[in-house]
């Protein structure tokens, strides 16, 4: 059989990939299963994706696992998601340590229940020295809240003399975001055929390349990831310049 695998250029990889992992509920519905089974199946796609990204050399992978808006879901679903998260963290620690993966989180982590919070904390501490890849989980994350909490902290620091208001810049502002110290995402993938940002990385995605696929998250596999990366590699990131200008820059 001829391999269908899309070719990607390993020298032109996105440094940071962010994924809105959507479609677990619809996947379950299509298989006449309950939504929770969809989330469970989604974990397998997470494991596949983390492994692949690590293998090919992606440095930052941010996964949107639970939005601040997702607190509106039925209690039973939220409980199940938190349990799945705990199980995931427990089962992956060894692999993270073996493969040099550092766990990070973004979001309102304090709003999570203590057992999850403790486990996140412990996993972050144990993987803190790992250097190969950052696995960044967005939990209770909302981009608008992230910006607001940054503004609140800046105002407080300015008032208490720790921040010079005249020094407010894009860089100093970004250092107050949950993503402080991380590069902005180069590629943002959303599965399940939805074309919206759903409050994800609003500040950080100013110049991110977007890739949308109809594939539901539990079905997302190697071919889909490679297709997204290959598509990204075809793009010209112009940052407001003209194509001509960019070509000339390359020559110079």
Please give the residue ranges that form the binding site for Mg ion (CB under 5 A). 22
Residue 59 interacts, among Mg ion, ligand IPE, none and using kind-specific CB cut-offs from 5 to 8 Å, with none
- Closer Cβ to ligand IPE, 22 or 186, answer by number: 22
Is residue 20 a contact residue for ligand IPE (CB under 6 A)? yes
Active site residue 22: yes
Is residue 107 a contact residue for ligand IPE (CB under 6 A)? no
Sign of the alpha-carbon torsion through 114, 108, 119, 126: negative
**Number of residues binding to ligand IPE, judged by CB under 6 A:** 18
Active site residue 118: no
Give the strand pairing for 101-106 and 133-141: parallel
Distance CA 233, CA 12 (A): 7
DSSP per residue over the chain, as a string? Answer: ----PPP--TTS--SEEEEE---HHHHHHHTT--HHHHHHHHHHHHHHHHHHHHHHT-SEEEEEEEEGGGGGS-HHHHHHHHHHHHHHHHHHHHHHHHTTEEEEEES-GGGS-HHHHHHHHHHHHHTTT--SEEEEEEEEE-HHHHHHHHHHHHHHHHHTTSS-GGG--HHHHHTTSTTTTSPPPSEEEE-TT----TT-STTTTTTPEEEE--S-GGG--HHHHHHHHHHHHH----TTS-HHHHHHHHH-
Least distance between Mg ion and beta carbon 167 (Å): 40
Q: Which of 8, 14, 16, 24 binds ligand IPE (CB under 6 A)?
A: 24
Least distance between ligand IPE and beta carbon 19 (Å): 8
- Closer Cβ to Mg ion, 22 or 186, answer by number: 22
Name residue 106's beta-bridge partners: 138
Is residue 88 a contact residue for ligand IPE (CB under 6 A)? no
Residue of 9, 11, 22, 157 with catalytic role: 22
Q: Which of 47, 130, 198, 205 binds ligand IPE (CB under 6 A)?
A: 198
Is residue 229 a contact residue for ligand IPE (CB under 6 A)? no
Is residue 51 a contact residue for ligand IPE (CB under 6 A)? no
- Closer Cβ to ligand IPE, 70 or 149, answer by number: 70
Q: Which of 47, 70, 99, 130 binds ligand IPE (CB under 6 A)?
A: 70
**Which residues have a catalytic role annotated?**
22, 70
Name the residues that contact ligand IPE, by CB under 6 A. 20-26, 64-67, 69-70, 81, 192, 196, 198, 217
């Amino acid at each position: 059989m001829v391999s269908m695998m899309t070719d990607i250029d390993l020298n032109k990889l996105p440094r940071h990939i962010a994924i809105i992992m959507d479609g677990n509920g619809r996947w379950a519905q299509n298989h006449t299963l309950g939504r929770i089974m969809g989330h469970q199946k989604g974990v397998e796609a997470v494991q596949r994706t983390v492994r692949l990204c690590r293998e090919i050399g992606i440095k930052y992978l941010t996964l949107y696992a639970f939005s601040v808006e997702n607190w509106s879901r039925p209690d039973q679903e939220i409980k199940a998601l938190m349990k799945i998260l705990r199980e995931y963290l427990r089962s992956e620690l060894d692999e993270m340590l073996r493969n040099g993966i550092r766990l990070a989180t973004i979001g309102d982590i304090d709003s999570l229940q203590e057992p999850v919070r403790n486990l996140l904390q412990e996993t972050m501490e144990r993987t803190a020295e790992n250097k190969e890849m950052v696995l960044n989980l967005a939990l209770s994350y909302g981009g608008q809240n992230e910006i607001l909490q940054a503004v609140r902290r800046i105002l407080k620091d300015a008032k208490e003399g720790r921040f010079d208001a005249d020094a407010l810049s894009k860089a100093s502002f970004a250092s107050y975001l949950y993503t402080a110290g991380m590069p902005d995402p180069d590629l943002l993938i959303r599965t399940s055929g939805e074309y919206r940002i759903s409050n994800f990385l609003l500040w950080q995605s100013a110049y991110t390349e977007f890739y949308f696929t109809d594939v539901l998250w539990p079905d997302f596999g190697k071919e889909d990831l490679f297709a997204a990366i290959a598509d990204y590699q075809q793009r010209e990131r112009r940052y407001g310049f003209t194509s001509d200008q960019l070509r000339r820059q390359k020559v110079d």
